[in-house]
Structure 1
Amino acid sequence: MFHTITAHPNITQAEHRALPFVSNTDLSNLKARLLGQPRTSNPQAFTFGASFHQAVLEPYIYTPPTGQLPPAQITLLEGLAATVRRQRYCRDLLYRGDAELSFSATHEETGLQVKIRPDLLVTTPRLGRRVLVDFKTTSCCDYAHFVATVEQYDYDRQAAFYSDVLQADRFMIVGVQKKAPHDIWLVELSADAATMEQGRKKYRRLLRAYVEQYPVGVLRNAWSSDTALETIS
């Protein structure tokens, strides 16, 4: 499905977004465009998500987004990040995993170069199996409602896309409830073959549509606002 998988070590989020390859966000933007539902930027949501991820995954470089978010939102994101880092299973994943690594690869069918940046890549010590972990904040009231958002927000597509690029064995989502009691939910999408196949069909269809919409050489021009539109949930 993908070949020429290349690691891009030690690059920042901004440098990752600047790579001239197709991302999962690009696929979301294309889907919205094809459906006549263009995505609008939400700077506060982007800042909240980016800061939350940094506080969880890279606390050593975390800086409070003072002036970009209301104090109550900063307090919330820092509290959620602390809750995640204290939770036993998440603490173990964070200890064993590598955060914010960027990779690119070439999609065999279309020839498109793609890029991914999983929140966390865990490689098991004995068998060398790859486990991808993605952290998402949510306003859902319970676990069942959160699981129902997997298809709604195309988490199945992200799981299949990332897993296929890196030939990962497992893909897990850690859902973090924004409202009290601030529960943490673990959902292993790779445990459901039907979910992964559905996600695989989604990203393949969109990659084909991408080539049809944007000839080689002008692919990135259409997404000059990629950074502004990307929402880290």
Structure 2
Amino acid sequence: MITELIDYRSIPRVSNSDLTRLKEECLGYTPSRFVPQRAMQFGRAFHSHLLEPESVGGIIDQLLPDMKPVESGRLEQLTEQVRRDSFCRRYLRQSDRERIILFTDPETELACKARMDMVYTSPKKRNALILDFKTTSARTQSQFLQSCYDYDYDRQVAFYVDGLRHADSREWAQTRQFRFILIGVQKQKPNRLFAVDATSIPNFVEYGRKKYRFWLRKWKEQQVETVNPWLRQAS
């Protein structure tokens, strides 16, 4: 197991976020086309507040210094909403938080990585549950479900589930069932929680898998295009 002391971003492997950036580059999107920078910063601060509360002060100073008092209160409110939920509270106690998974994609043979909010593995390792928290502006369950498609969460779900299946550690090699639950935390009052069992939606994971494999192939193609001119010169 990789310790939290390792800087995840420095690990030289392909992440789901890398695939997002590749997609934006290939399609000519700006990073803020779908998710404004401010919303991304707030989402990162929320994750740290919930999963790494000991570091939240530093995170807010780095990401949201100009609105520290206001945002700190909002973060605390959202975090408490999650902790009051019996399902979330149970897995906050029992799961590995911010778990880093290293794996090799069997199709492209690319070295990949994933950092999961929470992973719970049953005692006999027959079942694995991934929980991922998303701050959201959705006001209804159906709106949050739609956002799961709009923001490529299906690709993330497939990438993470397959990451456990193909983990270099082989920790989940004998696991029979993988579940992935997306939990939306409403940013506006009344700060409702929305839960989507992504692995139970017909074709959701399969479609996400097609997406991430498409972009992994693109990633590999770019690597080959970068290396080939040097190979030609060397020959």
Instruction: Place the TM-score, normalised by the shorter chain, in its bin.
Output: 0.7 to 0.9
1:19-168 aligned within 5 A: 19-40=11-32, 44-63=38-57, 65-66=60-61, 68-70=65-67, 71-126=69-124, 128-167=126-165
After TM superposition, give the deviation of residue 20 of structure 1 in Å: 0.9
Larger radius of gyration: 2
Compute the TM-score of the two structures, normalised by the length of structure 1: 0.83
* Counterparts of 1:68 and 1:122, CA distance in 2: 34
| Residues 11 and 102 in structure 1, CA contact (< 8 A), matched pair in contact too | no
Q: Deviations over 1:106-163 (max 9, x none)?
A: 1122121111000000112355411111000000111110001111100000000100
Q: Does 1:175 align with 2:184?
A: yes
Distance 1:81 1:216, change over 3 A: farther
Higher relative contact order (CA 8 A, sep 6+): 1
| Residues 29 and 38 in structure 1, CA contact (< 8 A), matched pair in contact too | no
The counterpart of 2:223, out of the listed 214, 223, 227, is 214
After TM superposition, give the deviation of residue 38 of structure 1 in Å: 3.1
Gaps (5+ residues) in structure 2? 166-176, 228-235
SS class of match (1:175): strand
Q: State the match for 1:227 in structure 2.
A: none
* Counterparts of 1:51 and 1:216, CA distance in 2: 37
SS class of match (2:55): coil
Identity, % of aligned positions: 37
After TM superposition, give the deviation of residue 216 of structure 1 in Å: 8.8
Compute the TM-score of the two structures, normalised by the length of structure 2: 0.82
Q: Deviations over 1:152-203 (max 9, x none)?
A: 1000000001001102611111110001111011111011241010001000
* Counterparts of 1:159 and 1:127, CA distance in 2: 20
Q: Which amino acid aligns with 1:140?
A: A
> Over aligned residue pairs, what C-alpha RMSD do you find?
2.1
Gaps (5+ residues) in structure 1? 1-6, 219-233
After TM superposition, give the deviation of residue 97 of structure 1 in Å: 0.5
Q: Does 1:197 align with 2:206?
A: yes
Q: Compare the two structures and name the one with the higher helix fraction.
A: 2
* Counterparts of 2:221 and 2:8, CA distance in 1: 25
Residue-pair matches, total: 210
Distance 1:56 1:27, change over 3 A: same
* Counterparts of 1:25 and 1:127, CA distance in 2: 28
